[in-house]
A and B are shown apart, each in its own frame.
Chain A
Amino acid sequence: MSNLPIRPPEQTWRTSPFTHSLIIALWFSLLFFPFKGLEAAGILFIVLFAALFLLSILKKRGVVVKETITNFKKYFPALKFPESKTRSITLILIMSAVVLALPLYGRDYLIDIAVLSGIYIILSQGLNIVVGFTGLLNLGFVAFYAIGAYSYALLNTKLGIGFWASMPLALALVTLSGFILAIPALRLRGDYLAIVTLGFGEIVRLVLNNWDSLTKGPNGISGIEPPLLFGIHIGKLSHFYYFILIFVLLAVFIIRRVADSRIGRAWIAIREDEIASSSIGINTTAYKLYSFAFGAFWAGVAGILFAAKMQFVSPESFTFMESVLILCMVILGGLGSIPGVLLGAIILVMLPEMLREVQLYRMLALGSGLVLLMIFRPQGLLGGKGVSFRS
């Protein structure tokens, strides 16, 4: 029933564009006034009024606004990759050359950001499995990332187990925690599930923060060994870059394969219509479990890599904001689109670095960006039109 379009009564707004923009600008500067004083509110008023008035005049003059929107949609239909095969192959070759040769021409700073992007790509691909493919909103994804990072940190510093030996242990633990969280997930609908996962994430962070005897609380764990490969410690940044690159390729490849398999199709079926998919014989419970555990697995991989890269972990890196950031990567890129999410992760890691000067306004932009994205392009940069959330 609630899916029926509800048409509000036609707006009988008979004021001129001048008064209209005047009222809106006045309203917003009035709301702003107590926080920054009269002068700032005045500036806001003038800017807002000018912008709104200009926009309404343009709107009157032949619906320019609508045209720009359609134009925008025309030029960026879904930012599709080139159609012809040779062109796409050249594009892939150029891109892989740029990526592979990065340590040769990039400064350390750039490589560092690239390594960070790599970790976030794995993380967001993991979240994409849960949110994008299966349609279960997970707001506590950072918990798995934290469990992975802390497992390696603890195994390494307390027991002296190396990178490769701790990896299966840590990943088993993370996957298990994914299963544990999935148990409530199976019973709950969309937004309730979001809150439970959020609670899970917060509980994990609080435990890490307060269990002083094991995790050293807010001080974090330092002195984690970098991974050992062919007898050498991968401590050098450029080496680590290639190391991460291998994991990123592995993650994208495996996730791609799984998404195209029977399991992946079952996930998408569940996302589109849970009741229908269970009626055609998909065991929705089991597939939701797999989705959670598989997503958690990749978060664990990212966590281990993060701990190995930073050689230090603390609860500060695993806040709710981090979960939101990863979610933003997935949504920006396009739910359920592997190349999209890859792009989203790179954009959201690179953008704040490029906008260092306006660092302060970064989160402000992220917040308003989320709202605007939901209103104007809910499918993200590369997402298809088919993605919908119903449950």
Chain B
Amino acid sequence: MFTQQLINGLTLGGVYALIALGYTMVYGVLELINFAHGEIYMLGAYLGIIFLAFFTALGLTSYSLPLALLLTFILSVVFCSSYGFTIEKIAYKPLRNAPRLSPLISAIGVSIFLQNYVMLTQGATDKIFPHLFEKTGLELMGTSVTFTQIFIIAVSAVLMFFLNLFITKTKMGKAMRAVAQDKVMSSLVGINIDTVISVTFIIGSGLAAVAGLMVAVYYGLVNYSIGYIAGIKAFTAAVLGGIGSIPGAMFGGILLGLVESLSAGYISSEYKDAYAFVILIIILLIKPSGLFGKTQEEKV
């Protein structure tokens, strides 16, 4: 039971961590809670289903399943990144110097728009992700681990590894960290802030797309409303780790996944969605800067 919940929690945590990274990166550079980020994740899941159906219709899936899946993956990520890029240009960029509340409300607007956009174009009923893999897996100490779960955990780990490399080793990553520290100063030393922000949105949305796709494979069902609750949970994860901190988001995501699946297993699964909120409120009360965050002095 315990190890089973542990594996489930790790799987869930990997997904949360991927979404949380998008939140934390955007918050880092813009100090904006990107409410629409959960919807990008939902778009990713839908795009996965749409492209896979398209490739099945073309006959590619029966010809070579891995190739079809790979193409689906790439296309979904590209499309979601484009959506993220476009959303930033339309809804956030004009508000960059506006009062802090304005972009947040704009983000809520985008979130409502995207939910209804998908509902209207794809229907309000659940969409089924085609059953591709047999529910086989490994038996480890009396716990069954499906290949999908291993896949999710592995993909999350690899992506997080490369993201960390990108942030710490590349020039763009350095620019991103600089913008997160001080926008004005980094623009003075010749960093193009618009480009950095766009790249942030592109990467964050791509990661959310991967998360959405993997969840679609894992649960086999998606709905236009999944983005909201997943977004809130991922945001909780980001805050848990200390918003703005990339290792924090990874750690927070995994921790939240574990807590959620363990408490659902041992306490009550009815309140599954409430645990995230309770954790969030407790953290914000005790340590608002999160586990990895730095406390910021308020400047007058």
Q: Are B79 and A184 closer than 8 Å at their CB atoms?
A: no
Point out residues on B near A: beta carbons under 8 Å. Answer: 31-33, 46-47, 50-51, 54, 79, 82-83, 86, 90-91, 94-106, 108-118, 120-122, 182-184, 187, 192-194, 228, 232, 235, 239, 270-271, 273-274, 277-278, 280-281, 284-285, 288, 298-300
Q: A2-B184, A6-B97 are in contact. List 12 more A-B contacts (CB 8 A).
A: A6-B96, A191-B100, A192-B284, A194-B104, A202-B232, A210-B270, A210-B271, A363-B116, A368-B109, A371-B91, A374-B103, A389-B99
- 27 residue pairs of the A-B complex, CB under 8 angstroms, read A1-B299, A3-B97, A6-B183, A9-B192, A35-B117, A35-B122, A184-B285, A188-B284, A191-B32, A194-B33, A195-B235, A202-B232, A206-B271, A206-B274, A207-B274, A210-B270, A327-B105, A360-B120, A363-B115, A364-B113, A367-B113, A370-B105, A370-B108, A371-B110, A374-B106, A378-B98, A378-B99
With known contacts A31-B86, A206-B273, A8–B106 Cβ distance under 8 A: no
What B residues does A203 contact at CB under 8 A?
274, 277-278
Contact of B120 among A275, A361, A389 (CB under 8 A): A361
CA distance in complex: A2, B82 (Å): 28
With known contacts A34-B79, A324-B112, A389–B100 Cβ distance under 8 A: yes
Q: Are B194 and A8 closer than 8 Å at their CB atoms?
A: yes
Main secondary structure of the interface of B (DSSP, over half): helix
What A residues does B122 contact at CB under 8 A?
35
Main secondary structure of the interface of A (DSSP, over half): helix
Which residues of chain A from 274 to 309 have a CB within 8 Å of any chain B CB? 275
Q: Which residue of the partner chain B has the closest CB to A202?
A: B277
A200 within 8 A of B: yes
Q: Are B184 and A4 closer than 8 Å at their CB atoms?
A: yes
What B residues does A114 contact at CB under 8 A?
none
With known contacts A196-B280, A198-B232, A378-B99, A371–B285 Cβ distance under 8 A: no
Which residues of chain A from 318 to 371 have a CB within 8 Å of any chain B CB? 320-321, 324, 327, 331, 360-361, 363-364, 366-371
What B residues does A137 contact at CB under 8 A?
101, 104
Which residues of chain A from 197 to 247 have a CB within 8 Å of any chain B CB? 198-200, 202-203, 206-207, 210
Q: Are A190 and B100 closer than 8 Å at their CB atoms?
A: yes
Q: Are B285 and A375 closer than 8 Å at their CB atoms?
A: no
What B residues does A210 contact at CB under 8 A?
270-271
What A residues does B288 contact at CB under 8 A?
187-188, 192
Q: Are B280 and A275 closer than 8 Å at their CB atoms?
A: no
Q: Which residue of the partner chain A has the closest CB to B272?
A: A206
A88 within 8 A of B: no
Q: Are A202 and B274 closer than 8 Å at their CB atoms?
A: yes
Max chain A C-beta neighbours (<10 A), residue from B83, B94, B101, B115: B101
CA distance in complex: A16, B117 (Å): 31
Shortest beta-carbon contacts, A-B, top 4: A370-B109, A367-B113, A367-B112, A199-B277
What B residues does A320 contact at CB under 8 A?
228
Which residues of chain A from 1 to 54 have a CB within 8 Å of any chain B CB? 1-6, 8-9, 27-28, 30-31, 34-36, 40
With known contacts A31-B82, A188-B284, A367-B111, A375–B274 Cβ distance under 8 A: no
What B residues does A30 contact at CB under 8 A?
82
What A residues does B97 contact at CB under 8 A?
3, 5-6
